[in-house]
Amino acid sequence: MIGGVVFWLVVALVPIWSLGAYNRLVRLRAQVISQFAAVEQRMGQALALLGEAASRPELATMKDGAAPRRATAAQGIAGLQAAAIQLEVALGIARKQPLDADAVAALRTAYATVHDVWSHRLDGATMSASPEAAAVQRAWESHSVAVREASTHFNTAVQAYNAAISQFPASMLAYVFGFSPAAQV
C-alpha cells in the first residue's frame, strides 16, 4: 500500500518538476535574447557612427604627415566602410539568431575588426585638430564602453543559460526540446 502511494507520488511529481525545469530554461533563454537586444542597440549606434566617420574624410583619416606607412585617405575610408558592412551583415544575422553560436561568433569577429580598423587609424598619428574629429573620437570611445557593458550583461545571461541546460536532469529536457548552448559576444 505504501509502495503504491510512493509510486503515484513520484509519477505526479515528475511532470510537475519537468514543467518547472522547462519554464526555467525558457525564462533563461528569453533573458539571453533580451540582453542581446541591448548589445544589438549599442552596436547599431556604433555602426551609425562608423557610417558618419566613413562619409566624412576629415573624420575617417589621419592628419597629413603623421606616419610614413599610414593609409591614404581613400584607403582609410574604404577600410571603415568595409568593416561597417561586415558588422552590419553580422549584426543582421545575429539579430535573427541570437542563440546561434556561429552567428554570435561572426558578430564578435566583425566588431573586433571594426575596433581594429578604428584603432589603426590612430596608430602612430594624431587625429586632425578639428573639433568634429575629436567629438567623433569621444563618441566612439563612449560607444565602445557601452558595447562592452551590454556584452558583459549578455555574456552573464549566456553563462546562466548554458549552465542550466548542461545540468542533469535538466539537460535531458534541454536535449528533448532543442535547447542548445549559446556563445558569448
Would you state the pLDDT for residue 69? 43
Q: Which one is predicted more confidently, 130 or 129? A: 130
Mean pLDDT of 131-144: 86
Are 119 and 76 in contact by the 8 Å Cβ rule? The answer is no
Residue 110 falls within a domain, yes or no? Answer: yes
Tally of domains in the chain: 1
> Which of the four pLDDT bands, split at 50, 70 and 90, describes residue 64?
very low
Q: Say if residue 66's pLDDT is above 80.
A: no
Handedness of CA 137, 142, 143, 148 (dihedral sign): positive
On whether residue 4 sits in a domain, the answer given is: no
Does residue 30 fall inside a structural domain? Answer: yes
What pLDDT does residue 57 have?
A: 63
- Is 39 inside any structural domain? yes
Q: Which domain holds residue 157?
A: 23-177
Domain annotation covers residue 6: no
Is residue 3 domain-resident? no
pLDDT in tens, 94-109: 999 999 999 999 999 9
- Mean pLDDT for 156-176 is 92
Give the residue, 163 or 4, on which the prediction is more confident: 163
Query: Is there a domain that residue 141 lies in?
Result: yes
CATH number for the domain including 131?
1.20.1440
Q: Look at residue 2 and tell me if it is in a domain.
A: no
Q: What is the mean pLDDT of residues 143-158?
A: 95
Judged against a pLDDT cut of 90, whether residue 62 lies above it is answered with no
